[in-house]
Amino acid sequence: MRIHKPVLRAMVPALVVAGVAVAAWAAWLGWDQQYEVQGDGSVSGPYQVWQVAGLIVTLLAAVVLAAAREHRAAAVGGTTVGLTLAAFVDWSGDASGQFMVGVVLVMAGSFIASAVVSAVIDSLPRDRPRTGQVDRQADR
């Protein structure tokens, strides 16, 4: 089976972004599995606010870079697939099966957030012409 170069060129950015998403999950959240019991008996965790914020900042940088390089589909798809896969693997030890609710929420949230960020980046003015567009300055 041979993959055509245009297909491969389209897949590489998505695979890179997905890899960044999985690695970011592992670095920020994957190592922390302990819930904390508070003095009043309430339970929190396993993640702290700073861990989730670090994950968001890391993914924001990856999505912005990919979208700025005009790989919007890769930014959205790679982030969504990477985070969904990481959440599934990390949380699948829950015997109740309720972890799938969280996985679906991660999938929906990462899709919406990365799509919004990609759309914002796409709407920003650029100094250079976009791929496939005629340079209007050269026509004058």
The answer to whether residue 138 is domain-embedded is no
The answer to whether residue 93 is domain-embedded is yes
Look up the domain containing 80 and give its range: 5-31+47-123
| pLDDT at residue 136 in the model | 52
The answer to whether residue 128 is domain-embedded is no
Counted residue by residue, the chain has a size of 140
- Chain centroid, CA 120 distance in Å: 15
The answer to whether residue 72 is domain-embedded is yes
Contacts of 41 (CB under 8 A, 6+ apart): none
The answer to whether residue 130 is domain-embedded is no
Inter-residue contact 118 to 72 (CB < 8 Å): yes
| pLDDT at residue 14 in the model | 94
Cα distances (angstroms) measured from residue 135 to each of 69, 129, 130 = 18, 6, 9
The answer to whether residue 74 is domain-embedded is yes
Please, where are the H alpha helices in the chain? 5-25, 49-68, 72-91, 99-123
Our count of domains for the chain comes to 1
Identify the CA nearest to 91 among candidates 78, 79, 104.
104
- pLDDT tens string 91-124: 988 888 889 999 999 999 999 999 999 999 999 9
pLDDT exceeds 60 at position 83: yes
The answer to whether residue 37 is domain-embedded is no
pLDDT exceeds 90 at position 69: yes
- Give the integer Cα–Cα distance in Å for 118 and 138: 29
Band (pLDDT 50/70/90 cuts) for residue 139 is low
The answer to whether residue 136 is domain-embedded is no
- pLDDT tens string 125-138: 877 665 555 555 55
Inter-residue contact 69 to 10 (CB < 8 Å): no
- Give the integer Cα–Cα distance in Å for 45 and 62: 26
| pLDDT at residue 71 in the model | 93
pLDDT exceeds 60 at position 48: yes
- pLDDT tens string 7-34: 778 789 999 999 999 999 999 998 877 7
